[in-house]
Structure formats: structure tokens, C-alpha cells
Structure 1
Amino acid sequence: MRAMKLSRAFTLIEPGPVVLVTTRDRGKNNIMTISWTMVMDFTPKFALTTGSWNYSFAALRKTKECVIAIPTVDLLDQVVGVGTCSGEDTDKFAKFGFTALDGKAVKAPLLAECLANIECKVIDFVPKHDIVVLEAVAAYFDTKRKETRMLHAVGDGTFVSDGRKYDRRKMMAAKLPAGL
């Protein structure tokens, strides 16, 4: 094996999938791209990392709700575009062609073009690490969508997508929650 720069080690385990997080504050919808997410056990709890450098962060802290939308590989250019401009001066829905749908539990919009949407409430902030802990209150999956491959950021401007699925549910049955 060849040594690599420690500063690039994160590119080996950059989490995925890349998600779009929507917020709504004072009647204005916004979207931000996030690649730093984490599931928290076999519960409907998630964590993401963001902070004041993102325009949506103030809305997230104020309203304590959002939607995690999961885009697919066909939306890569829109996902990158959303992440490279600010909602402070850009209507990202208009610019990138996203359709806002009303959720049932939060005011932040679902994204019609995404494979899945998860309505969330903020249940904790960990300021030292800019971690936002979320609890899902509703979730939706588009069963009619043909493209289902999700995006994963490598962290250096490149992305990979899901491929073949390998089923090992029988082998892992003792470790999985009932009903999965």
C-alpha cells in the first residue's frame, strides 16, 4: 500500500447518499445540498452537519423542521448547482427546476423530482461540531420513479452512484429489527 495525505482520509469514508435539505422560513422555500449525514441506529433519527455558512441554517434553527430529499444520479447537475449557490440571492426551485410539494407534518416542502422525502423535526443541536439531530415524522418513496441510483460524494468534487444490490438479509436476520 502507498501512504496518502491524512488530510484526504475523509474521501475514503465520505458518507452518503448526498441529500437535498429543504426549509421554509417567512414564506420562502430553500434547498441546500448536504453530503455529511448519518443514520442513528435502526430508528427514524438522523444527523447532518451544517452551520451558519449555509443560508438555510438560520431557517433550520428557527423553524426546527426540514425535509431530507434523496435525489438520484439523473439529478447530479442540479444537486451540485444547488450546493454551489446561496438561497440568500437565488430561488433554487426556479433556477434548478425543482417542484415543491406540501408535506403533512412540516412546512418545509418535499421535492417532487426526488426518489424519497423524509419530513423531519429538529430534536437537538450539537454546536461544537455543527451537528443537527433530526427525527423523522413522515416519509415517502416514489415507486414510479425509474431511476433509483443514489449519489455519494467522494469529497473531492467527484461522485459515485449505487450499483448492484446484494441481498444478505438471511445471514443478518439475527441483527436486524423485526419487520425489516
Structure 2
Amino acid sequence: MKKVKIEKALTFIEPGPLLLLTTFDGQKNNVMPLSWAMPLDFDGRFALCTGPWNYSFGALRKQKECVLCVPGPALLKTAVKLGMESGEDTDKFKKFSLRTLPASQVKAPLLADCAACVECRVERFWQAYGIFVLKALQAWENPSCADGRMVHAVGDGTFRADGEKFNLRRLMKAKLPPGL
């Protein structure tokens, strides 16, 4: 082992996968990349962290709903470029030719080229840390995203894509909720 700067700790634990968060502020849609998110339980609760430096933050606070979209490796460069623009003055959907589909439970759109999308409503907001607790309302999976890999942000401008998959469901059967 060798000592490293404390800032590097993030790169060891960054949860991923990289997400694209879509919001609707009452007038227009927006999308931003997000890697600070995590599941909280098997009942469709998630936490994510953002703040007023992101244009989507205002829409999330105001409308209390969003869509979490899971892009595959094919959308990685677009996802990074989305984060370099502000929805305040850029129509990111138009600029980056993002294909959308209507959501069924929220006003923010689904991203048609993502592997999965989860429509969510905000249950709580912890202002001190910019943490939103979300409740999943509807989940969507895109069978045409054949790659099936998820991208994970390392936290230092680099990313990793899932590789080999290990199926140990048999060993964990007693711990998995029905239907999963």
C-alpha cells in the first residue's frame, strides 16, 4: 500500500453508473450527466447529490420529479459534452440530437437511446448536502441496447465500462426480494 491524497478516495468508491438526469422546469426540458447517485433499498428508492451550480437543480426542487436514464458506452462522449453545457442557455436535446420518449408518470422525458430509464418523484431533500431521495414510479428497459454494459465514472475524468458478468443469484436467492 502507498499513501495517496485524500481527494483520491472518491475515485476508489465512486458508485456509478453514470446517469443522465432529465428534468422539466415547467417550461422546458433539460438533461445533465450525474454520477453521484445510489440505490437505497429494493423498493425503488434512490439518492442523488447535486446543487445550485447545476441548472437542473432548480427544476428538481420546483417540480419534484425527474427521470434517471442509464446510458451505455455509445453515449459516453455525449454525456460528458452534456455536462460541459448549461441548460440555462442551451437546448441540449437539440444540440446533441437526443431522441426522447414521453414518460408515463412525470413530465421530464425518457432518453430513447439509453439502456434503462426510471421515472422518479422527490420524496425528501437534505439541503445541507444537496441530497435528494427519490421514489421510482415507473421503470423502463431498452432491449435494443444490445451492449448491456454500464459506464462508471471514476471521479477524475476517466470512466470504466462493465466487463464480465458473474451470475451468483443462486447463492443469494434467500436475500433477494420476490420478482427481482
Length-normalised TM-score, structure 2? 0.97
Q: What is the CA–CA distance in structure 2 between the aligned matches of 1:26 and 1:171, rounded to whole Å? A: 47
> Does structure 1 residue 151 correspond to structure 2 residue 151?
yes
Q: What is the CA–CA distance in structure 2 between the aligned matches of 1:34 and 1:118, rounded to whole Å? A: 14
Per-residue CA deviations over 1:40-78 (Å, capped at 9, x if unaligned) read: 121111010001010011011100000001100011110
Give the SS at the match of 1:157.
coil
The amino acid across from 1:2 in the alignment is K
The amino acid across from 1:135 in the alignment is K
> Does structure 1 residue 163 correspond to structure 2 residue 167?
no
> Does structure 1 residue 91 correspond to structure 2 residue 91?
yes
Residue 147 of structure 1 and its aligned partner are, at CA, apart by 2.2
The amino acid across from 1:134 in the alignment is L
Residue 27 of structure 1 and its aligned partner are, at CA, apart by 2.5
1:94-109 equivalences in 2 (<5 Å): 94-109=94-109
Give the SS at the match of 1:76.
helix
Any runs of at least 4 consecutive aligned residues in structure 1 with deviations exceeding 2 A, and if so which? none
**Structure 2, unaligned stretches of length 5 or more?**
none
Instruction: Tell me the residue number matched to 2:136.
Output: 136
**Structure 1, unaligned stretches of length 5 or more?**
none
Q: What is the CA–CA distance in structure 1 between the aligned matches of 2:170 and 2:14, rounded to whole Å? A: 28
Q: What is the CA–CA distance in structure 2 between the aligned matches of 1:149 and 1:58, rounded to whole Å? A: 31
> Does structure 1 residue 176 correspond to structure 2 residue 176?
yes
Q: What is the CA–CA distance in structure 2 between the aligned matches of 1:120 and 1:179, rounded to whole Å? A: 20
Instruction: Tell me the residue number matched to 1:113.
Output: 113
Q: What is the CA–CA distance in structure 1 between the aligned matches of 2:89 and 2:148, rounded to whole Å? A: 31
Q: What is the CA–CA distance in structure 2 between the aligned matches of 1:53 and 1:73, rounded to whole Å? A: 26
Give the SS at the match of 2:128.
helix
Q: What is the CA–CA distance in structure 2 between the aligned matches of 1:147 and 1:82, rounded to whole Å? A: 22
Q: What is the CA–CA distance in structure 1 between the aligned matches of 2:100 and 2:165, rounded to whole Å? A: 30
Q: What is the CA–CA distance in structure 2 between the aligned matches of 1:147 and 1:178, rounded to whole Å? A: 27
Residue 160 of structure 1 and its aligned partner are, at CA, apart by 0.1
Query: Do the aligned partners of 2:26 and 2:63 also contact (CA within 8 Å) in 1?
Result: no
Residue 101 of structure 1 and its aligned partner are, at CA, apart by 1.2
Instruction: Tell me the residue number matched to 1:51.
Output: 51
Q: What is the CA–CA distance in structure 1 between the aligned matches of 2:171 and 2:87, rounded to whole Å? A: 46
Percent identity for Structure 1 against Structure 2: 53
Residue 156 of structure 1 and its aligned partner are, at CA, apart by 0.4
Equivalent pairs counted in the alignment come to: 180
Give the SS at the match of 2:3.
coil
1:5-84 equivalences in 2 (<5 Å): 5-84=5-84
Q: What is the CA–CA distance in structure 2 between the aligned matches of 1:106 and 1:98, rounded to whole Å? A: 18
Query: Do the aligned partners of 2:73 and 2:149 also contact (CA within 8 Å) in 1?
Result: yes
Q: What is the CA–CA distance in structure 2 between the aligned matches of 1:152 and 1:18, rounded to whole Å? A: 5
